[in-house]
Structure 1
Amino acid sequence: MIMQLEPILKEAGELLKEGFYGAFKTQYKDKADLVTEYDVLIEKFLMPKLKGAYPNDEIFGEESYKGNTFPKSGIFVDPIDGTTNFVHRLPHVGISVGVWRDGKAVEGGVYNPILDEMYLAQKGSGAFCNGTRLHVSQSTTLQEALLATGFPYTKNSSPMDLGFVLNSMTNLLPLVRDLRRYGAASLDLCLVAKGTFDGFYEINLKPWDVAAGIVMVEEAGGKVTTHEGGAYDMNDRTIIASNGAIHEALVNEIGFYE
């Protein structure tokens, strides 16, 4: 089934490139959350294509879904993950499609058309980038670890969310090799699967941000939980992904979120 995703993502990638190298209109969803006409255009392109490929699955797109909670099964679509990067012409942008059934990630595709990197994964069949199988890193200590994180859009409106960002960095930065903040969670998770990053964590992400990346990490041999170490659910507020070897240490040191 996953092979159906590749041509759909490739075609959608042409639209993303058109916008990235061209002109577009931008507006704010709120104080810090941008949306462009290409976010909407790409999602509208993807919806019928995905419905044709997965006729029995409900599809949830970032720009069209208005609910606050999410089911255990469905297809979760981010038409441009890294919209702020897209607006500023930073090439860390991707189109993300993740398929979940009964609370488990089963298929995922993340495509960065600017760098022409196609990430594909299917439960039980492995994770790949441009046909090369992915494996998580071999780092065993936080001291060796290069971590990725992100800053939630709620940093402007939620003191708790901002506090988690600052506290987790305060806790982790002295213990790890370094931290990176690239601004596209789906691709950050792919880079954990690729072994570039040893771990990733963030707060207040939505299913379309992580649905595809989670299956990448798991199929590359990594682990994904909440910040407390429990199984990740689509309605959870925190996520930690790692190569598995540093996971317990990462959970223990990241701090708390209430």
Structure 2
Amino acid sequence: MNEITAIEAILYDISAYVVERYGQRDTLIVSTKASPTDFLTEVDIAVQKRIVEHLMDIFPTDVLIGEESGLDYFKGSPPSRCWMVDPIDGTQNFLRGLFPEFGVSIGFLVDGNPVAGGVLFPVSQDLFLAERGSGSFRNGKRMHVSQVDSLEKARVDIDFGALSYRHNYRKHAQGLLDVVGQVRSYGCSVMGFCQVADGQQDAYIPFNVKPWDVAAGMLLVQEAGGKVTSFDGGAVNPFVSERIGIVANPLIHPLCVDILGGLE
């Protein structure tokens, strides 16, 4: 079984469990991590455990990095073969049910760069898959980023992030807020990437994302013709995820760099 086939099979395998537990969210065991709104549920832990077990059965010598259960730390150079797992991205949405968009993300990297990735939104059953050099697909249909070429016409998802560092970025986000036609903030990184890849929005501006937030998503965007860079337009990869700041179609991207480049 190759990597992209494994990603698709594993995502479908855990889908029914996530949907079932979403329906039981009022009964879940919930704790917090770094902040009062950084939630951890028993579903996050169970989903990551199941994904890791599947991956280790198929690729026993590969390195695993995940958001939960002590797998969120890696020291040294990027390994030659590595998996990054986000069991539930958008846990706030999962718990509150205000906007049932949360995704399960699996990315496969070689020498630090994504070469295969998938995101499943369990409620809608939308499956996003990409392989390096082979395109980016939603439910089997090839995706392309939008052709919107002005910020006044653009729809942009700005991920303001945790309160602890939001104040530091507020003045920079203000530059976009002053000129962007439509602003969204979904609270789900993988959704930001997937919507840019599918042309549903024109840019996603995240402040301080983690490696597992971006490993699959950045490949989806790149294979759909989009760009994923630092705020000054520089090259990035999931191992330097804290530098990722602009995810956009190639027409909107330089306009975002003009406004946000000073963050570097």
Cα displacement (A) at 1:71 = 4.6
Summarize deviations over 1:111-142 as a string: whole Å, max 9, x none. 00101100000001111111111000011122
- 2:39 pairs, out of 30, 34, 42, with 34
TM-score, normalisation: structure 2: 0.91
* SS of aligned partner of 1:256: helix
Alpha-carbon spacing, 1:69–1:198, altered in 2? closer, same or farther (3 Å): farther
Contact persistence 2:214–2:241 (CA under 8 A): no
Partner of 2:250: 244
Match of 2:83 among 71, 75, 78: 75
Task: Provide structure 2 residue ranges, at least 5 long, that are not aligned to the other structure.
Answer: none
Q: Deviations over 1:216-240 (max 9, x none)?
A: 0000011110111100132242321
Residue 147 (structure 2) pairs with residue 141 (structure 1): no
Structure 2 SS opposite 1:13: helix
Change over 3 Å in CA distance of 1:210–1:87 after alignment to 2 = same
Identity of aligned residues (%): 37
TM-score (norm 1): 0.93
CA deviation map 1:128-168 (0-9, x unaligned): 11111100001112222111121222x23x3xx4221x123
Moved over 4 A (4+): 68-71
Segment of structure 1 superposing worse, 14-23 or 125-134: 14-23
Say if 1:93 and 1:187, in contact at 8 Å, map to a contact too: yes
- Give the aligned CA root-mean-square deviation in angstroms: 1.6
Q: For 2:251 and 2:130, how far apart are their aligned partners in 1?
A: 21
3-state SS, counterpart of residue 240 of structure 2: coil
Task: Measure how far apart 1:103 and its partner are.
Answer: 2.7
Residues 25-34 or 208-217, more deviating: 25-34
**Is contact 1:171-1:255 (8 Å) kept?**
no
Unaligned 5+ segments in structure 1 are none
| Closer, same or farther: CA 242–207 of 1 in aligned 2, 3 Å | same
Counterpart residue identity of residue 130, structure 1: N
Shift of 1:12: 1.2
Kindly tell me the number of residue pairs found equivalent between the two proteins.
253
Aligned counterparts of 2:234 and 2:100: Cα–Cα separation in 1:
33
